Amino acid sequence: MNRYEQVVSEKLERLRSQKKFNLLAIESSCDETAASVLTSEREVRSMAVHTQIPLHQRYGGVVPEIASRSHVERIGGVVRYALEDAKMSMEDIDAVAVTCGPGLVGALLVGVSYAKGLAFARQLPLIGVNHIAGHIAANYISHKELEPPFVCLVASGGHSHIVEVGDYSQFRLIGCTRDDAAGEAFDKVARVLGLPYPGGPHLEKLALSGDENAFSLHAGFNAKPILDFSFSGLKTAVINLMHNAEQTGRELNKADVAASFQRAVVDTLVTKSVNAAMEAGHGKLVLAGGVSANTVLRNRLRVAAEAKGIAFYCPEMKYCTDNAAMIGCAGYYGLLGGQSSSLNLNANPALAL
């Protein structure tokens, strides 16, 4: 055991016994550079996020090389801002948490490298956090009373999972998309409709003025009595609908198309998630991920769950998209549960939950 490992081992033992300590969390898995300071697993002292949306808008999506460079340029300032906003310095920090996957490998490497440097320089415990586990943990911050076990729908641009959460660091994947994630499908259809990046929020806004029953959009796979789902077929149905209209000179109401597509996606997510919660029998259904900011999904999932006697939880809007507070919360529970990472921690873009 080297000097760093010996010091960190002693610190970990102390932190786990006192349970309340200051943790700095870093998130850089995609196009947000974020840092946060927590003083307990559910107490956020500060949250700083720098978004790269303006950088990627001209390309219609995230460009990995541009994202990585922006993280390099911004991460130091974002961490300093989070510390200043918490009225702390690195001398006050007891541990460091960082997203190590899944995500864009170059973007992840920036955050992991920075966190490892801080941990080594300050001789602090380090923990790598799964990004999806972070999204799930966002609900603990918003709902102090929420405890496992429960079923969680994680819907984002890169992932659509139904997860049974047995404990704070115990997860079982019980359903997932076979192709496009829900957020990815939203973005692709938004592009077909001529909407700017990021497409999801713009499509939701457009759908407000549309008729969700105007077009019947279905994916045969989603009618199967299983918990997996598919969104590629729905995306293709919209593309074909638009193409056929163009070929015949017929003008479609884009708001109707957006509303019909949104309904098809939301209906699928709601049906599968409520079925999963009923099968699990925990009486709790949780929503997480970037798509959890979609108000139609939030409202319909709540109504469907409560109609079955299932308690429903979703995070506050500020914790829906990528942020470091959720990573800190997941990291806190990981450290308290006996987990930690060595300085050999590496980015894993395909990290499984």
The residues, ordered by sequence, that sit 6+ positions from 99 with a Cβ below 8 Å of its Cβ are: 26, 27, 28, 29, 108, 111, 112, 128, 129, 130, 131, 134, 327
Is the peptide bond preceding residue 225 cis, with omega within 30 degrees of 0?
no
What's the whole-model pTM score? 0.95
Cβ atoms of 306 and 283 within 8 Å: the answer is: no
pLDDT in tens, the chain (353 residues): 788 999 999 999 999 998 899 999 999 999 999 999 999 989 999 999 999 999 998 888 899 999 999 999 999 999 999 999 999 999 999 999 999 999 999 999 999 999 999 999 999 999 999 999 999 999 999 999 999 999 999 998 888 999 999 999 999 999 999 999 999 999 999 999 999 988 999 999 999 999 999 999 988 888 888 999 999 999 999 999 999 998 999 999 999 999 999 999 999 999 999 999 999 999 999 999 999 999 999 999 999 999 999 999 999 999 999 999 999 999 999 999 999 999 999 999 999 98
Q: What is the pLDDT of residue 104?
A: 97
Q: What is the pLDDT of residue 124?
A: 97
CA nearest neighbour of 333 among 92, 170, 174: 170
Is the peptide bond preceding residue 149 cis, with omega within 30 degrees of 0?
yes
Q: What letter does residue 196 receive in the DSSP assignment?
A: P
Q: What letter does residue 337 receive in the DSSP assignment?
A: T
Q: Which stretch of DSSP H or E encloses residue 32? A: strand 32-40
CA distance 55 to 73: 13
Q: Which stretch of DSSP H or E encloses residue 286? A: strand 284-288
Q: Which two tokens stand for residue 150?
A: 């429960």
Q: What is the pLDDT of residue 219?
A: 82
Site of tokens 């490998």? 105
Q: What is the pLDDT of residue 95?
A: 98
Helix residue ranges per DSSP H, the chain:
3-18, 53-56, 64-85, 105-122, 131-142, 182-192, 199-207, 232-248, 254-280, 295-307, 324-336
Query: What is the DSSP track for 79-132?
Result: HHHHHHHTT--GGG--EEEEEEESS-HHHHHHHHHHHHHHHHHHT--EEEEEHH
Cβ atoms of 14 and 93 within 8 Å: the answer is: no
Q: What is the pLDDT of residue 157?
A: 82
Instruction: Report residue 338 CA to chain centroid gap.
Output: 24
Q: What is the pLDDT of residue 88?
A: 98
